[in-house]
Chain A
Amino acid sequence: MIQSAPHSDLAIDIRSVDKRYKGKVHALRGIDLTVGRSEVFGLLGPNGAGKSTLVKILTTIVRPTHCEGRVLGRPVGHKPTLRTVGYLPEHARFPDYLTGRQILDSAAAMTGVSRSDARKRIPQLLDIVGMTDWAKKKVTTYSKGMKQRIGIAQALINDPELVFLDEPTDGVDPVGRRDIRAIVQRLRDEGKTVFLNSHLLSELEMVCDRVAILVQGRVVSQGTIDELTRDQGYIEIELQAIDDDHPHPRMLVESSALLLASETTPTGESTSIVASRVRTEFILPSGEPVEINKNRIRIHTEEPGSIQPLLDALRARNCIIRSLRPHRPSLEDLFMKAVTDPTTGKELSPGAGSDKPARKGAAQ
């Protein structure tokens, strides 16, 4: 029997995880990560970012070059802890000669589930993943989606406290994805911790409580989706197309801003301070940056009150406002921002082999 682990609110609490493969590929570079209990945590990153390597370290498949911290209160690499851990690897490969039921039987035995518990649990899991009718058929007859479903079932056979699902929706049709999301939500409701690795950002966004973005072996962002997107929203105003009767928005904004500045600074404060041009951006007197692109004006604020003076100024100059749209960045936006080199504006090279540091984001 596994001895009870010291209680912690964290299912995963790791620091300075480093992995350098023998081929000198530096896959992970000092990962610090925490995952709370009963949390659905999503790890996203481009191909070769080190997502699977990190999960493999946590499940003892890969040996870290350096690793501090704990999984379920036990040091990383503690084999008996795996009795309470479930894992679906990316591209799980099951022997063709086994049936779905036999795979679950085997997984139950390997994780130390008693025969009587396995007999009860296997039909339940087959039902949950929708494979009851296929349980006695050999894996060779399964579609990829079916294999994923059986893979998820085997990951849950030991009623784990912590489940790692590496690309669980890979090769699964939309109905299957919905079912897998439902399973993940069910696990969360049962108080399990789910660690999801996925390329499919929308999948993560729908089910994850917290996410981390991994780029070139480093965690560049980590937090709840709210935390990560906070203060990154903007309001976009689209004006009527430009013609001779309607001056360029840049000029409009500049003049509006100056006007606003003069209106809001009765003390005679210098307008160059309150509405100064910062490169190609402007800053409203209330402090929000403004970007202008042709007939679109983007104000970096989620506060509607901040844009009212600007709207008034635009309307006072007879500008026709075609649309006004508040925008909150999606996970994809965050992801794309994380994988873009801020100096060149190009995507960072995939993989983890480069020694060039990845950009550090906020909300660590």
Chain B
Amino acid sequence: MILRQTAAIFTDAYRELNAKKLFWITLFFSILIVAAYACFGIDARGVHFLWMTLPGTEQYAANISPATFFKFWMYAVGIGIWLTWVATILALVSTAGIFPDLLASGSIDLYLSKPISRLRLFLTKFLTGLLFVAVQVGVFIMGCILVIGIRGGSWEWSLLLAIPIVLAFFSYLYAICTLFGILTRSTITALLLTLVAWMCFFGLNSTDNILLAVRSDAGFNLERAQLSASQNRERIEILQARIDNNTAGERTESQLDMAKRNLESAVANIERHQRTLDGVEPWYRRVFVAKSFFPKTSETVALLGRYTLDMDELKALMPPDQRNDVEINIEELGYARPGEATEAAQVMPPNIRTELELRSRSIAWVLGTSFGFTGFILAIAAFIFSRRDY
């Protein structure tokens, strides 16, 4: 009987989706986006849209493979914008009414008077809400896999991970929508409050990203200043030795002065960047801790990037000045005599540091804490649903 009841609730949910124009509109746009996506192409001459070659894309096209190109744009636009913003809002609009409609007088009575426990009814109805997203994401991702396979020449079945990942992301929001729907019994109120909560999570995530960017930047500058100071110290020793050994040339004194000034500047920069780092670090940690208690919407979606784009592919998509390590080499100032060249040092650029830091956050933290929050919200909603009189 449990299976029959569950199947009946899902069948009703499917009929409801089928009856909703928004479901078909969203699906239509999903297919349209996949079709537009398929119209792009990439080869050595550049990026093409249908028969047109987009100007100034030759260099870009030279660095990346077609498969990487399609994966990146699917990830950046298809999932990053369409699925996680537009389609999610449309999905929330479509599903926000599920619980308020269920709780309407005369409707809930029909369900509760049947031999089904309230908890099971609640959970099954919650899952039907996810059905909307599962269908939408499933169609979209399958379309994308076909495009990448046919146009990019690589069958990326790992992209199917996008379905559970986007479902997980949506479940965070839908749990909140469910709680508000049960508390207020109003579709519009539940929807608006969910969007507010989403904006709060987004704000928290943005704060984290900004702090992380500042931290990465400060770390980059500190490391650069430290290397510069180290190289200048080394240079000062060499120049001082020349003077002491009476082997100094005409410019040695001035070079020594310049090296000393550079060292002072580097030391000042070290102090400044260290202060920045010391200032930002506690806030970064606080925000990180705060984030641990809330769902990580952006980072959940970014998990797909981790699995579909490795760091080399990601670097290939960045401008050259952002993807390569920055070389710190005092020799460019022309100090060295033959055999005295100071070894150049490499410093990782800030955006790569940020990306690596984000990728170093464990899946258990990203998903575990988010599901913890979702579970907590659902538990409250289920408790209220189960205990309330209708």
B111 (CB) vs chain A CBs: closest residue: A110
A321 → B minimal CB distance (Å): 55
Which of A93-101, A189-197, A248-256, A328-336 sits within the interface?
A93-101
A103 (CB) vs chain B CBs: closest residue: B110
Distance in angstroms between the alpha carbons of A248 and B107 in the assembled complex: 62
| Contact residues on B (Cβ < 8 Å of other chain), bracket | 20 to 34
**Residues of B1-47 whose CB lies within 8 A of A:** 1, 4-5, 7-8, 11-12, 15-16, 18-19
Cross-chain contact A92 with B115 (CB below 8 angstroms): no
Contact residues in B for A61 (Cβ distance below 8 Å): 108-109, 112-113, 389-390
Distance in angstroms between the alpha carbons of A96 and B116 in the assembled complex: 23
Residue from A62, A89, A112 in contact with B110 in the complex, judged by beta carbons closer than 8 Å: A89
B117 (CB) vs chain A CBs: closest residue: A79
Distance in angstroms between the alpha carbons of A60 and B111 in the assembled complex: 10
**Residues of B243-274 whose CB lies within 8 A of A:** none
A164 (CB) vs chain B CBs: closest residue: B113
A113 (CB) vs chain B CBs: closest residue: B4
Contact residues in B for A97 (Cβ distance below 8 Å): 15-16, 18-19
Cross-chain contact A59 with B11 (CB below 8 angstroms): no
Cross-chain contact B113 with A91 (CB below 8 angstroms): no
Cross-chain contact B105 with A109 (CB below 8 angstroms): no
B114 at the interface (CB under 8 A from A): yes
Instruction: Report which residue of B12, B18, B387 has the largest number of chain A beta carbons within 10 angstroms of its beta carbon.
Output: B12
B338 at the interface (CB under 8 A from A): no
A80 at the interface (CB under 8 A from B): yes
Cross-chain contact A106 with B113 (CB below 8 angstroms): no
B17 (CB) vs chain A CBs: closest residue: A97
Cross-chain contact B117 with A106 (CB below 8 angstroms): no
Residue from A81, A91, A112 in contact with B4 in the complex, judged by beta carbons closer than 8 Å: A112
A to B CB contacts below 8 Å, 7 in the list: A56-B389, A61-B109, A95-B12, A95-B16, A106-B8, A109-B8, A109-B11
B339 at the interface (CB under 8 A from A): no
| Contact residues on A (Cβ < 8 Å of other chain), bracket | 35 or more
> A90 with B114: in contact, given A98-B12, A98-B15 (CB under 8 Å)?
no
B305 → A minimal CB distance (Å): 38
A-B residue pairs, 5 tightest by C-beta: A109-B8, A97-B19, A93-B106, A89-B109, A112-B1
Distance in angstroms between the alpha carbons of A87 and B110 in the assembled complex: 7
Contact residues in A for B15 (Cβ distance below 8 Å): 95, 97-98, 102
Distance in angstroms between the alpha carbons of A87 and B106 in the assembled complex: 11
Give how many A-B residue pairs fall within 8 Å (CB-CB): 90
Cross-chain contact B115 with A83 (CB below 8 angstroms): yes
B104 at the interface (CB under 8 A from A): yes
Contact residues in B for A56 (Cβ distance below 8 Å): 109, 389-390
Contact residues in B for A91 (Cβ distance below 8 Å): 105-106
Contact residues in A for B114 (Cβ distance below 8 Å): 82, 107, 110-111
Cross-chain contact A112 with B113 (CB below 8 angstroms): no
Instruction: Report which residue of A83, A93, A94, A154 has the largest number of chain B beta carbons within 10 angstroms of its beta carbon.
Output: A93
Cross-chain contact A112 with B106 (CB below 8 angstroms): no
Cross-chain contact A60 with B5 (CB below 8 angstroms): no
A283 → B minimal CB distance (Å): 51
Cross-chain contact B389 with A82 (CB below 8 angstroms): no
Cross-chain contact B12 with A62 (CB below 8 angstroms): no
Residue from B116, B117, B389 in contact with A62 in the complex, judged by beta carbons closer than 8 Å: B389
A63 at the interface (CB under 8 A from B): yes
Interface positions of B (Cβ within 8 A of A): 1, 4-5, 7-8, 11-12, 15-16, 18-19, 101, 104-117, 387, 389-390
Cross-chain contact A106 with B12 (CB below 8 angstroms): yes
A139 → B minimal CB distance (Å): 11
Cross-chain contact A60 with B106 (CB below 8 angstroms): no
Distance in angstroms between the alpha carbons of A76 and B332 in the assembled complex: 89
Cross-chain contact B7 with A59 (CB below 8 angstroms): no
Residue from B4, B113, B389 in contact with A109 in the complex, judged by beta carbons closer than 8 Å: B4
Contact residues in A for B109 (Cβ distance below 8 Å): 56, 59, 61, 87, 89, 92
Distance in angstroms between the alpha carbons of A154 and B109 in the assembled complex: 13
Q: Mark A109-120, 1 if CB is under 8 A from B, else 0.
A: 111100100000
Distance in angstroms between the alpha carbons of A21 and B387 in the assembled complex: 12
A58 (CB) vs chain B CBs: closest residue: B113
Q: Mark A192-223, 1 if CB is under 8 A from B, else 0.
A: 00000000000000000000000000000000
Contact residues in B for A152 (Cβ distance below 8 Å): none
A147 (CB) vs chain B CBs: closest residue: B106
Cross-chain contact A60 with B112 (CB below 8 angstroms): yes
Contact residues in B for A82 (Cβ distance below 8 Å): 113-115
Contact residues in A for B117 (Cβ distance below 8 Å): 79
> A63 with B389: in contact, given A89-B106, A95-B12 (CB under 8 Å)?
yes
> A80 with B16: in contact, given A109-B7, A110-B5 (CB under 8 Å)?
no
B4 → A minimal CB distance (Å): 5
Cross-chain contact B12 with A107 (CB below 8 angstroms): no
A97 → B minimal CB distance (Å): 3
Distance in angstroms between the alpha carbons of A81 and B116 in the assembled complex: 11
Distance in angstroms between the alpha carbons of A81 and B115 in the assembled complex: 7
A140 (CB) vs chain B CBs: closest residue: B19
A1 (CB) vs chain B CBs: closest residue: B1
A260 at the interface (CB under 8 A from B): no
Residue from B12, B107, B113 in contact with A59 in the complex, judged by beta carbons closer than 8 Å: B113
Contact residues in B for A164 (Cβ distance below 8 Å): 113
Cross-chain contact A80 with B115 (CB below 8 angstroms): yes
Distance in angstroms between the alpha carbons of A85 and B387 in the assembled complex: 22
Contact residues in B for A92 (Cβ distance below 8 Å): 106, 109-110
Distance in angstroms between the alpha carbons of A89 and B104 in the assembled complex: 12
Cross-chain contact B11 with A106 (CB below 8 angstroms): yes
Cross-chain contact B113 with A93 (CB below 8 angstroms): no
Instruction: Report which residue of A61, A82, A91, A102 has the largest number of chain B beta carbons within 10 angstroms of its beta carbon.
Output: A61
